[in-house]
Amino acid sequence: MLDIQNLQANVGDKQILRGITLKINKGEVHAIMGPNGSGKSTLANVLAGREGYTVTGGSVTFEGKPLLDRAPEDRAAEGIFLAFQYPVEIPGVSNSYFMKTALNAVRKHNGQPELDAMDFLKLIKEKAKLVEIPEPMLSRAVNEGFSGGEKKRNEILQMAILEPKLCLLDETDSGLDIDALQIVAKGINALRSPDRAFIVVTHYQRLLNYVQPDYVHVLSAGRIVKSGGKDLALELEKKGYGWLEEAKVAAR
Amino acid sequence: MTEKSSSSPAVAGRGPIIDFMDPRQWHSGMTAKEGFWLEARSVDGSSVTLSPEPVKEGRRLTIPQGCQATLIEKNESMRPEPYTTQSKWEIILTEGSKLNHYKLVHEGPEATHHSFLEVDVRKSASFQSHVFLFEGAQIRNTIHVRMTGEDADCLLEGLYVGSGKRVIENHTLVDHQKPRGTSRELYKGILDGQSRGVFDGLVIVQKEAQKTDSAQTNRNLLLSTEAKAVSNPELKIFANDVKCKHGSTIGQIDAAQLFYMRSRGVPLAEARRLLVYAFASEMINQVEVPALREILFPCLNLATSIKK
């Protein structure tokens, strides 16, 4: 589904990604871990097409087509979703109107008929239950005045409505208490399917107790320094990231 | 005073005509007279007929004691050629009365519109002004409010939209002359193309006007690099026990908000449109006349869709 080859990217003048190669197939859950500044979030943002990141080398294909020259909205319409580390507040635009506009834009792109107001309302109410979002929150402005936990739940709600093929979760667990973490994890797990892949970017192993990955990759200084199964996450939790960085220095 | 009928034919490329003159678009009890609608109720809720008296180049309207009135003024035309319209009102709000004034300027592309409003707010009276400046080549909006009675209240709100080479000027004055007055002012500009928007707002608190509570804000959204906003909020305070603040902002569409919307599949143009709407909707949602609110959104759409 996603094929990343030797991806290099800058933020401003600073090189952050120094050659990432990663293949992700349908149905797989990949966790990307690593210390602060290792490039985890940069990878997620480059894949989603955020401005301010310059790809300086390598390639990415999504479902066989080049991804990096496409606009963010086209990537979303093709099935890529980024759950933000810091979801953005949009005063004056209601949550449900925003999601209806987004869903219908995606449906239009894919040649599907647009949903009318009634059908959409039914859909969003059903999906809101999944992440325990009360109905009044749907008519409030997007993320405005939401608590940290509410914002992250709202990200999962949007994901559930858009039903993407590839979900990028950027530090979705950060700032969540244990109850909110469980609700978010439940939402993510409900979306797991043989046709859908996940890249879970996280600093801590905590979320992976609830969302079990098939693969764990450790990023350090813009490269994948170690890959393994879900046990690698547990090892990291115990030993920290230091031993990998030391091993890397020794290998030079 | 020059006023026009709105029964003009459509001009190609201007989109649908909104029929401001159709009384069915207003709620019952309003009377249409030469481009304005006036409705008033007395303290007991019964309907009152008010008639403005003609004065030099304009009209004078006195709101009787305790009366609550709504005045809707529209200056609308689709005429393509250059022309000038003027609107001049003197309004006196006697003790305990209230007026909600709405003004919509939706003139032809070459038109010049000058509006002058002089308001006297007496004891415990309340004046609210909502101005929507959407179309025309040159629009000048002047509002002078004198708070001549104790406990007077005033709200000035404005939304102005510039595109092409439109020039919009807003000059407002709120003069607090007596104690315990409150005034709130919020003007928002959306400026595209090579348009220019001016906000020039002065609040004076006279020596006698102790316990005045005043806030004044001007916010501008620039949609193009050639658009220009000039903001000049000003406070002159001669009393020593007052609460006054003012501020202004000039900015572009927020890049983070734009990316957030696009990352959910909303196309760039639609995302921009939604964010402009969000900026404007706060002003339109304040309108208490449902029929007016309904036509303001299409007007805004028309005003923001015309490209440089």
- Residue B7 maps to a domain: no
- Residue B9 maps to a domain: no
User: What confidence score (pLDDT) does residue A174 get?
Assistant: 85
CB A200 within 8 A of CB A192: no
Burial A194-204 (b: 16+ CB within 10 A, else e): eebbbbbbbbe
In angstroms, rounded to a whole number, what is the distance separating the alpha carbons of residues B151 and B122?
8
User: What confidence score (pLDDT) does residue B296 get?
Assistant: 86
E strands, chain A, where?
2-11, 14-24, 29-33, 53-62, 65-66, 80-83, 90-94, 141-142, 166-170, 197-201, 215-220, 223-228
- Residue B94 maps to a domain: yes
CB B231 within 8 A of CB B239: no
In angstroms, rounded to a whole number, what is the distance separating the alpha carbons of residues A10 and A16?
5
> In terms of CA atoms, which chain B residue is nearest residue A94?
B278
In angstroms, rounded to a whole number, what is the distance separating the alpha carbons of residues B43 and B30?
18
Chain B hits for A93, CB-CB cut-off 8 Å, are: 274-275, 277-278
| Mean pLDDT over each residue of chain A, to the nearest integer | 91
User: What confidence score (pLDDT) does residue B189 get?
Assistant: 96
pLDDT above 90 for B307: no
Angle (CA) A36-A40-A43 rounded to 5° is 145
Strand A223-228 relative to strand A215-220: parallel, antiparallel, unpaired?
A: antiparallel
Supply the ipTM of this predicted assembly: 0.94
Query: For A100-123, what is the mean pLDDT?
Result: 95
Among A67, A73, A165, most B C-beta atoms within 10 A, so best to mutate, is A73
Query: For A202-212, what is the mean pLDDT?
Result: 87
The model's confidence at residue B26, banded by pLDDT at 50, 70 and 90, is: very low
- Residue B3 maps to a domain: no
Burial class of B11 by CB neighbour count within 10 A (0 to 12, 13 to 18, 19+):
middle
pLDDT above 80 for A205: yes
Could you say which DSSP state residue B124 is in? T
CB B237 within 8 A of CB B205: yes
Q: What is the DSSP string of A37-90?
A: TSSHHHHHHHHHT-TTEEEEEEEEEETTEE-TTS-HHHHHHHTEEEE-SSPPPE
User: What confidence score (pLDDT) does residue B305 get?
Assistant: 60
pLDDT above 70 for A210: yes
Chain B hits for A115, CB-CB cut-off 8 Å, are: none
Taking only the tens place, the pLDDT of each residue in A49-63 is 999 999 999 999 999
Domains of chain A (ranges plus CATH)? 2-251 (3.40.50.300)
Number of domains in chain B: 1
Which residue range(s) make up the domain with B61? 23-305
Of A71, A93, A141, the CB nearest to B268: A71
- Residue B154 maps to a domain: yes
More confident residue, B41 or B23: B41
Q: What is the pTM of this model?
A: 0.82
User: What confidence score (pLDDT) does residue B76 get?
Assistant: 81
pLDDT above 90 for B297: no
- Residue B18 maps to a domain: no
In angstroms, rounded to a whole number, what is the distance separating the alpha carbons of residues B146 and B83?
31
- Residue B226 maps to a domain: yes
pLDDT above 80 for B253: yes
Query: For B262-291, what is the mean pLDDT?
Result: 89
Query: For B14-41, what is the mean pLDDT?
Result: 53
- Residue B5 maps to a domain: no
- Give CA separation, B175 vs B126, B182, B205, B214, B283, in Å: 14, 11, 6, 11, 23
Query: For B278-302, what is the mean pLDDT?
Result: 83
pLDDT above 50 for B2: no
Contact assignment for A98 to B264 by CB distance below 8 Å = yes
User: What confidence score (pLDDT) does residue B19 get?
Assistant: 42
Contact assignment for A73 to B268 by CB distance below 8 Å = yes
Taking only the tens place, the pLDDT of each residue in A120-152 is 999 999 999 988 899 999 999 999 999 988 999
User: What confidence score (pLDDT) does residue A247 get?
Assistant: 57
Taking only the tens place, the pLDDT of each residue in B186-209 is 999 999 999 999 999 999 999 999
**Main-chain phi, psi angles of A242, to 5 degrees:** -55, -45
Taking only the tens place, the pLDDT of each residue in B125-155 is 999 999 999 989 999 999 999 999 999 999 9
